[in-house]
Amino acid sequence: MTHLLSIEDLSVLIRRPGRDVAALSGVDLHVDAGEVVGLVGESGGGKSMVARAIVALLPGGARTRGAVRFEGADVLAMDEAALATHRGHGAALCFQNPRGALSPTRTVGRQLTDRLTTHQRMDKAAARETARQLFEAVGIRNPARRLDAYPHELSGGMAQRVMISLATGCAPGLLIADEPTTGLDVTLTREILRQFRHAADTDGRGVLLISHDLASIASVCDRVVVLYAGTVVESGPVAKVLREPAHPYTRALLASVPDVSGRPARAIGGAMPLLPSPPAACPFAPRCAHATERCTAQRPPLTGDGWAYACFHPQTGGGAAAPGAPPPPPRGGAGRGGVGGVGADALPRPGGAPACPPPPPGAAPAAPVTAPPPQRTAAGRVVMEIEDAHVVYGSRFGSGGHHALRGVSLEIRAGETVGVVGESGCGKSTLARLMLGLTAPSSGTVRLDGIDLHAQRGRKLRRLRTRARLVFQDPVGSLSPRRTVADAIGEPLRALGVPAAERAERVAQVLARMNLDPAMLRRHPHELSGGQAQRVGIARALVGDPDLIVFDEPTSALDVTVQAQILDVIAELAGDASRGSVFISHDLATVRGFCDRVVVLYLGRIVEQGPVEEVFGNPRHPYTRALLSSAPSLDGGYTGARVELAKDLEEADAATGCPLAARCPFATDECRAEPQHLTPYGAAEAACWRVPQIPALIREGAHTRA
Amino acid sequence: MAEVRVEAGARSFSRVLILTGAAILVVVALAALAAPLLSSWGPEEIDANATLAGPGGAHLLGTDTNGMDVWSRLLYAARLDLGVAVSAVALAVVVGTALGLLAGYLGGWLDDVLMRIVDIFQAFPTFILALAVAALLGNGTVNLVITIAAVNAPAYARLVRAEVRSIRELPFVDASITSGASTVGVLWRHVLPNSLTPVRVIAPLNCGWAMLTLAGLSFLGLGVTVPGAEWGAMISLGSPDVVAGRWWTSVPPGLALLVCVLGFSLLGEGLQERADARRRS
């Protein structure tokens, strides 16, 4: 049987002066029409190199061996003319950064119709009509109007949809998506991935979905291929590879991702090597707990039919996600609970069924709480107190502006960890900046250790600022390029007037606590890996012994196994009773891992808050339910009734009434007219007057659909 | 493979440019310093017996209308020309960078006021402006340095301001503020070192232009005046003689000027190439 795409023993060696990199070493994989294949692994594993090889866009200095056969023809041997047809018609690439890939000075409609008129030889009217249909097919509302929009007028999710329509415009047989959802929040990720499933199911295209995030693509893939250091370590049907992975790396990769059902992440040490030549032994052996002498002496071949793995000591039984998994090692800090593997109905997408299952009929309105509520009493002193804070970012020209926070009140005590979740654009980062004194509230007060942060000036303000610290999303970018690590970590101490000798000592101490080599003190940020840079960032936050640490998406820029290592570090710190922590994330699973309380933000307002087990186990607000429903999961995840939101987030919705009304399936005229206030429901609070009715509404909805 | 070669090529090409430019300037500077050793005549010493004497003999490059030794004046003038150009650009960099740093980082009315002043300065052609300032300040080496610095500083202010405005939005600046650093501390330790890259490239090129400005002013009689030894003044003094076929009074200072400006340009271009190559990789 011939495959749509088959990559046979592909090796790519990149020759750079002084340093060769074996980007791919003997990779075999295939994609059939109508099939979605996931290609997963950490950065540096060779995922993007595979994508580039398929369209013969390899970097300069690349030497290839093996073949990339597309419908029988070897892509690597094609001449320019054949390649031009192959790219676009044969295989089309969707880029990771859609805004960067769209030309900013032409309307998106024009960019699409240009392709249609040149490649498909359509006339202008036909091209515009086809473009409109393509936009509609990827779920763009008002497609005729959007055709005339410029890329900067589109939100991130909308731009990615346009990108997909551009890629599918010339009816390619194969669609390659390189990290299409990185940087998007959970609800959009789900929506975009659904588009790829749709392309495979209805148009019979082959789809190669590249991602570092196993959980999020699990629901749409038929098969997955796991890459490590340029080699395929495991490949097979999604149900096999993700449910009972055989290769220790696949298992480690799966265990590195915390699950929304409460299973925390388990970290493995080390980092992926960049190999100068094709490996002679198992490349994972140095990090593998099961490695024996044989693993370091010869390279295990990829064996098996359909489900194949390259390992001498394949593991059996459920992976990290399955109920049989060993209990995770206990970690510092209280208040996290939950048992792994809740339901057997994990991996909601069987065969060719729609990616999104409807709410299960008769789903229990109040899902069982998977663990007893945390026993920790947050009796510590209040370190951060926000009272009815509004933040408006004024525009420089004229009136108007962006209302980022609309009356948020929040208290954080020493010893507790508060999670803040919500989609992009809900005000999470503004809240962080507010707590750090980087943004002043337009009204309301922010008190740090009981002192009004925004009423202070000069030296007093600077000293107060060192009491609250921020760990940034972009670890390398948050370090000054021309300053050494020692300088960066020591900066808060310098502000406090600590003498140089003591400063050096305390910096060395905190560096040791982060498990970093003292030799790193003299390095500059560009010499650090992402994980190392984030450890430096945490060390800098910790060195002055602050009362509050705010983690603003600290792991979202990191690879999954590194994420797990950093989460370990943070979890250990969060257990410290002497200070409060705030953990901001759009990834609900990581928040559940070690937060005591959760605050759900929507368009600048708190729509639900309460103890973490209460909010996750028994969500009240439709928005919280929707976030939980969208959270990717390998364990079956959220078992309560699923709620789907209509449309993407739009800021204009925040103007009157309940901000969610335009997207909420339960909205009434009253919701649209009346602003909602936080009301206690059990141990939590939610800003929705329909909370008591929702279980019944969900049951009805399920009945009508059934 | 091709791409790799281009990158390596660009790097070695920029090296050649930088080394050539630097070598030229070092030779000129050494000659200027060693002027008393290389010439037996003083720069303003008059040989009454030999006015407009041709090259050779007692005077290596002949003498001018006043009977002053051209070779000796050429060497001593290098001290003045290089000195004024480099110190004027240094002053312009310091003043311009400081203003740009403040305007870009603090913004608000200060930014508006400073940038409007910069606009006014830049609305005039540089040389016309230099003429006006020189006329206002009068002669003298220090005044020349100030004049040339004043016409060049606005460009640095604008350049640095643009850099600072993008740098102040980067996370490491927020990190420093939340570390309790003072505004001066943030500017000095983080913003300034990261905003100097374009200045490093422009400044050497600017030295060449500064030298031309100085020579131009002197040529027009607003800079150094005879008997002061300066290349522009020497060209000016000798220009009537060139027409009469006595080329040695004007051509040597002209060539010296050309070589120096070329040296600065090569150095600047080389630094530019290297910065570009670094940005690409």
Give residue-wise pLDDT tens across range A431-477.
Answer: 999 999 888 898 999 999 999 988 888 888 888 988 999 999 888 88
Q: Collect all residues of chain A within an 8 Å Cβ-Cβ radius of residue B182.
A: 462, 495
Residue A477's DSSP bridge partners are: none
> 3-class SS at A413?
strand
Report the candidate in A242, A253, A265 with the shortest Cα–Cα distance to residue A346: A242
The pLDDT of residue A264 is 76
Instruction: Tell me how far apart the 2 most distant CA atoms of chain B are, in Å.
Output: 76
Report the candidate in A653, A656, A658, A652 with the shortest Cα–Cα distance to residue A687: A658
Q: What is the CATH number of the domain that holds B179?
A: 1.10.3720.10
B9 lies within 8 A of chain A by CB: no
Measured over the CA atoms of residue B50, residue B53, residue B55 and residue B57, the dihedral's sign is: negative
Kindly state whether residue B64 falls inside one of the protein's structural domains: no
The answer to whether the CB atoms of A472 and B175 lie below 8 A apart is yes
Measured over the CA atoms of residue A452, residue A453, residue A459 and residue A462, the dihedral's sign is: positive
Q: What CA–CA distance (Å, rounded) separates A598 from A419? A: 5
The pLDDT of residue B7 is 53
The answer on pLDDT for A377 being more than 60 is no
For every residue of A60-112, which 3-state class applies, written as one string? CCEEEEEEEEECCEEHHHCCHHHHHHHHHHHEEEECCCHHHHCCCCCCHHHHH
Q: How many angstroms from the chain centroid is the CA of residue A101?
A: 21
**B155 CA to chain A: closest CA distance, Å?**
24
The answer to whether the CB atoms of A492 and B180 lie below 8 A apart is yes
If phi > 0 it is left, if psi is from -120 to 50 it is alpha, else beta; for residue A520 that is alpha
Instruction: Determine the Cα angle at A649 with ends A648 and A651, to 5°.
Output: 140
Measured over the CA atoms of residue A666, residue A671, residue A675 and residue A677, the dihedral's sign is: negative
Nearest to A491 among B1, B3, B181 (CB): B181
Choose between B257 and A184: higher pLDDT: B257
The pLDDT of residue A305 is 82
Q: Collect all residues of chain A within an 8 Å Cβ-Cβ radius of residue B170.
A: 477
A634 residue type, one letter? L
Q: Which domain holds residue B214?
A: 72-265
DSSP A617-632: HS--SHHHHHHHHHS-
Q: How confident is the model at residue B255 (pLDDT cuts 50, 70, 90)?
A: very high
The answer on pLDDT for A321 being more than 70 is no
B189 lies within 8 A of chain A by CB: yes
The pLDDT of residue B18 is 92
What pLDDT, in 10s, does the model give residues B96-141? 999 999 999 998 899 999 999 999 988 988 888 898 988 888 878 8
Q: How confident is the model at residue A356 (pLDDT cuts 50, 70, 90)?
A: very low
**B164 CA to chain A: closest CA distance, Å?**
13
Nearest to A466 among B179, B185, B193 (CB): B179
Q: How many CB pairs under 8 A join A and B?
A: 88
Choose between A269 and A484: higher pLDDT: A484
What pLDDT, in 10s, does the model give residues A379-413? 688 999 999 999 988 765 555 567 888 889 999 99
Q: Collect all residues of chain B within an 8 Å Cβ-Cβ radius of residue A15.
A: 1, 4
B3 lies within 8 A of chain A by CB: yes
Say how many residues make up chain A.
Answer: 706
Report the candidate in A170, A173, A192, A171 with the shortest Cα–Cα distance to residue A181: A192
Q: Are A50 and A106 in contact (CB under 8 A)?
A: no
User: Which chain A residue's Cα is nearest to B1?
Assistant: A61
In angstroms, the Cα distances linking A34 to A3, A198, A224, A351, B272 are: 11, 10, 15, 11, 51
User: Residue B211 has which token pair?
Assistant: 């030298």
The answer to whether the CB atoms of A496 and B176 lie below 8 A apart is no
* Span between the terminal Cα atoms of chain A, in Å: 40
Pairing outcome for strands A5-16 and A580-584: unpaired
Q: What CA–CA distance (Å, rounded) separates A542 from A490? A: 10
Chain A residues within 8 A (CB-CB) of chain B? 15-17, 59-61, 433, 436-438, 462-463, 465-466, 468-470, 472-474, 477-483, 487-488, 491-492, 494-496, 537, 540, 544
> 3-class SS at A495?
helix
> 3-class SS at B67?
coil
User: Which chain B residue's Cα is nearest to A457?
Assistant: B182
The pLDDT of residue B137 is 87
Q: Collect all residues of chain B within an 8 Å Cβ-Cβ radius of residue A488.
A: 175
Q: What CA–CA distance (Å, rounded) separates A424 from A156? A: 10
| Average pLDDT of every residue of chain A | 82
> 3-class SS at A14?
strand
| Mean pLDDT to the nearest integer, A547-569 | 87
**A514 CA to chain B: closest CA distance, Å?**
19
**B200 CA to chain A: closest CA distance, Å?**
15
Lowest mean pLDDT among A322-331, A686-695, B29-38, B60-69: A322-331
Lowest mean pLDDT among A164-173, A288-297, A339-348: A339-348
The pLDDT of residue A354 is 39
What pLDDT, in 10s, does the model give residues A588-620? 888 887 889 999 999 889 999 999 989 988 888
CATH fourth-level superfamily of A5-255 = P-loop containing nucleotide triphosphate hydrolases (3.40.50.300)
Phi and psi dihedrals of A224, rounded to 5? -130, 150
Choose between A199 and A366: higher pLDDT: A199
Report the candidate in A562, A560, A564, A541 with the shortest Cα–Cα distance to residue A552: A541
The answer to whether the CB atoms of A462 and B182 lie below 8 A apart is yes
The pLDDT of residue A319 is 55
DSSP category for residue A300? P
> 3-class SS at A223?
strand
Report the candidate in A357, A583, A637 with the shortest Cα–Cα distance to residue A627: A637
Element containing residue B11 per DSSP (H, E): helix B2-33
- Sketch the domain layout of chain A as residue ranges: 5-255
Pairing outcome for strands A597-602 and A417-421: parallel
Q: Which of A52, A396, A429, A482 to mutate to test binding with chain B, by most B CBs within 10 Å of its CB? A: A482
User: Residue A489 has which token pair?
Assistant: 């970590």
The answer to whether the CB atoms of A540 and B180 lie below 8 A apart is no
Q: Collect all residues of chain A within an 8 Å Cβ-Cβ radius of residue B4.
A: 15-17, 60-61
Q: What CA–CA distance (Å, rounded) separates A52 from A479? A: 32
| Average pLDDT of every residue of chain B | 87
Q: Collect all residues of chain A within an 8 Å Cβ-Cβ radius of residue B8.
A: 17
Report the candidate in A412, A329, A342 with the shortest Cα–Cα distance to residue A584: A412
User: Which chain B residue's Cα is nearest to A58?
Assistant: B1
The pLDDT of residue A361 is 42
Helices (H), B168-250: 171-178, 183-186, 192-195, 197-219, 231-243
What pLDDT, in 10s, does the model give residues A623-666? 999 888 888 777 666 667 778 887 777 777 777 788 888 888 88
The answer to whether the CB atoms of A463 and B180 lie below 8 A apart is yes
The pLDDT of residue A396 is 54
Q: How confident is the model at residue B19 (pLDDT cuts 50, 70, 90)?
A: very high
Q: Collect all residues of chain B within an 8 Å Cβ-Cβ radius of residue A472.
A: 171, 174-175
Q: How many angstroms from the chain centroid is the CA of residue A163?
A: 19
B171 lies within 8 A of chain A by CB: yes
Domain count, chain B: 1
Pairing outcome for strands A417-421 and A580-584: parallel
> 3-class SS at A308?
strand
Instruction: Determine the Cα angle at B196 with ends B30 and B177, to 5°.
Output: 145
Q: Collect all residues of chain A within an 8 Å Cβ-Cβ radius of residue B2.
A: 60
| Mean pLDDT to the nearest integer, B143-153 | 92
**A182 CA to chain B: closest CA distance, Å?**
20
Q: How confident is the model at residue A533 (pLDDT cuts 50, 70, 90)?
A: very high
B108 lies within 8 A of chain A by CB: no
> 3-class SS at A676?
coil
The answer to whether the CB atoms of B179 and A491 lie below 8 A apart is yes
The answer on pLDDT for A349 being more than 60 is no
The pLDDT of residue B5 is 47
The answer to whether the CB atoms of A482 and B193 lie below 8 A apart is yes
